């Protein structure tokens, strides 16, 4: 995404925006040699801009290593962004000091990907869920116990589970404990970092339905990070597709799934299994050649051109603008040539952009 690309918040009224990112970058330095010279950067997030409306779920999808988790952690300032602006309720949180951020952390929480690694094995469940209450001084004495019991009931567990330890629970139950911990401080915004990817398929739907119920009950706003596109379709209001540190496409859920414009999005969606065996046999899979490029040295021009089946010379030379086609944002020269039309990248397609 070019630095001067239009940001994706332009179609949302300022009063509706809860989170807004403007040209956010996160580079991790690579040091080498005896004197630890700075020789290069891992460009994990490279100029990302989008907005999240209060009460909505924005799904963020892409291959492993595309920068999804880094974006989420930059929003919460668990990682400090290299540059760019991150606004929460109109306030640029990148300029806040440590003490100011401490107060703001009540409003923003995270559900981690791995329920086996994110819970302290030396603490019982009651202490795990109560820890945010002690840190932010939200309850004392018997009020803490009452609040913990209420949170456990809210996520589908029983108060008697408070005296047990994480190893006594299944993966789905552990993730519910993580959800209860995130809810303890009554946040407005939650980053759900692949919250169901480590769970059995039979348990995934239960956790996703729980998150939806909690959103409706408490008016929560989610950034839902995932690589499972069928899960994202179920829970998200809008979906952003990320590739090698940049947003390739962003649109309303149904618009993106029914009419994907970017070749990368089309290839991702072609991999979703169809429950009808006859339709599954007939459809054409779009199989990308090559591997995802290194974020240390991303390709020039459009960073997807090295794997795109319809790439042409301009794609190799010029970074595509992140253009708005009626609320459907996409960074693709082929889409621009078609005036916002959908390029055909199927293997059997005869027509190709000039």
Distance CA 88, CA 305 (A): 34
252 or 349: which carries more pLDDT confidence?
252
Determine the pLDDT at residue 352: 47
Model confidence at 348, pLDDT cuts 50, 70, 90, reads low
Q: What is the band of 197 on the pLDDT scale with cuts at 50, 70, 90?
A: confident
State residue 270's pLDDT score.
84
pLDDT at 351: 44
| Per-residue pLDDT band at 288 (split at 50, 70, 90) | confident
**Which is it for the CA torsion 331, 334, 340, 344, positive or negative?**
negative
Q: What is the pLDDT of residues 75-134, one digit of tens each?
A: 999 999 999 999 999 999 999 998 889 889 899 999 998 888 899 999 999 999 999 999
Q: Which residue has the tokens 């949170």?
A: 151
Percent of the chain clearing pLDDT 90 (strictly above): 68
Q: What predicted TM-score, i.e. pTM, was given to this entire model?
A: 0.89
Report whether pLDDT(1) > 50.
Answer: no
User: pLDDT grade, residue 5 (50/70/90)?
Assistant: very low
Q: Tell me the mean pLDDT in the region 153-166.
A: 93
Q: Which of 24, 31, 66, 61 is nearest to 46 (CA)?
A: 24
Contacts of 216 (CB under 8 A, 6+ apart): none
Rounded to 5 degrees, φ, ψ at 102 are -60, -45
Is residue 9's pLDDT more than 60?
A: no
Lowest mean pLDDT among 141-150, 289-298, 303-312, 342-351: 342-351
3-state secondary structure of 73: helix
Does residue 289 have a pLDDT over 90? no
CA neighbours closer than 13 Å in the CB half-sphere of residue 253: 16
Q: What is the pLDDT of residue 146?
A: 94
Element (H, E) at 40: strand 37-53
d(CA 293, CA 65): 10
Q: What is the pLDDT of residue 281?
A: 67
For the segment 279-295, the average pLDDT, to the nearest whole number, is: 77
Tell me the residue ranges of DSSP E strands in 260-299.
none
Rounded Cα–Cα distance for residues 133 and 141 (Å): 11
β-sheet bridge partners, residue 46: 25
pLDDT above 70 covers what percent of the chain? 90
Partners of 214 in beta bridges: none
CA-derived radius of gyration, the chain: 22
* Cα–Cα dist 221/248, whole Å: 23
**Length of the chain, please?**
354
Q: DSSP labels for 152-182?
A: HHHTT--GGGGGS-GGGS-HHHHHHHHHHHH
CA separation for the pair 187, 203 (Å, rounded)? 25
Strand order across the beta sheet in which 246-252 lies? 108-111, 189-193, 221-226, 57-61, 238-243, 246-252, 328-330, 323-325
Average pLDDT score over residue span 198-215: 89
The strand pair at 189-193 and 221-226 is best described as: parallel
- For the cut 50, the answer to whether the pLDDT of residue 18 exceeds it is yes
Predicted confidence at residue 279, as pLDDT, reads 63
What pLDDT sits at residue 354?
Answer: 46
- Given this model, what pLDDT does residue 220 score? 96
CA 295/CA 310 separation, integer angstroms: 22
Q: Is the confidence at residue 49, as pLDDT, over 50?
A: yes
Q: Which two tokens stand for residue 308?
A: 């795109």
Helix (H) or strand (E) holding 23: strand 17-32
Tokens of 286: 């779009």
Return the higher-pLDDT residue of 9 and 118: 118
Q: Tokens 């602006």 sit at which residue?
A: 85
Asked if residue 288 lies in contact with residue 306, where contact means CB atoms within 8 angstroms, the answer is no
CA–CA distance, 45 with 56 (Å, rounded to integer): 23
The tokens for 222 are: 């989610």
């Amino acid at each position: 995404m070019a630095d001067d690309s239009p940001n994706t918040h332009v179609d949302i009224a300022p009063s509706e925006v809860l989170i807004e990112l403007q040209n956010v970058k996160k580079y991790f330095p690579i040091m080498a040699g005896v004197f630890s010279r700075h020789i290069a950067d891992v460009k994990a997030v490279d100029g990302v801009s989008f907005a999240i409306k209060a009460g909505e779920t924005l799904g963020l999808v892409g291959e492993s290593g595309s920068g999804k988790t880094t974006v989420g952690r930059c929003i919460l300032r668990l990682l400090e962004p290299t540059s760019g602006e991150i606004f929460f309720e109109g306030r640029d949180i990148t300029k806040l000091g440590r003490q100011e951020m401490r107060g703001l952390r009540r409003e923003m929480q995270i559900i981690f990907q791995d329920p086996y690694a994110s819970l302290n094995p030396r603490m019982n469940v009651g202490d795990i869920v109560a820890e945010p209450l002690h840190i932010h001084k939200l309850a004392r004495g018997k009020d803490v116990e009452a609040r913990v019991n209420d949170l456990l009931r809210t996520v589908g567990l029983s108060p008697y589970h408070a005296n047990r330890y994480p190893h006594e629970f299944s993966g789905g139950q552990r993730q519910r404990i993580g959800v209860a911990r995130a809810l303890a401080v009554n946040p407005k915004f939650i980053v759900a970092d692949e919250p169901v990817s480590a769970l059995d398929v039979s348990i995934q739907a239960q956790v996703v339905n729980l998150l939806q119920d909690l959103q409706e009950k408490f008016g929560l706003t989610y950034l839902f990070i995932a690589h499972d596109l069928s899960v994202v379709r179920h829970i998200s209001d809008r979906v952003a597709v990320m590739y090698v540190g940049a947003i390739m496409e962003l649109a309303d859920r149904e618009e993106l799934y029914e009419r994907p414009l970017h070749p990368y999005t089309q290839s991702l969606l072609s991999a979703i299994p169809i429950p009808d065996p006859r339709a599954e046999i007939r459809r054409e899979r779009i199989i990308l050649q090559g591997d995802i490029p290194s974020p240390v040295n991303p390709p020039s021009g459009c960073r997807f051109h090295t794997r795109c089946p319809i790439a042409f010379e301009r794609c190799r030379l010029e970074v595509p603008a992140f253009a708005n086609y009626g609320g459907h944002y996409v960074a693709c020269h082929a889409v621009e040539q078609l005036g916002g039309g959908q390029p055909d990248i199927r293997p059997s397609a005869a027509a190709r952009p000039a």
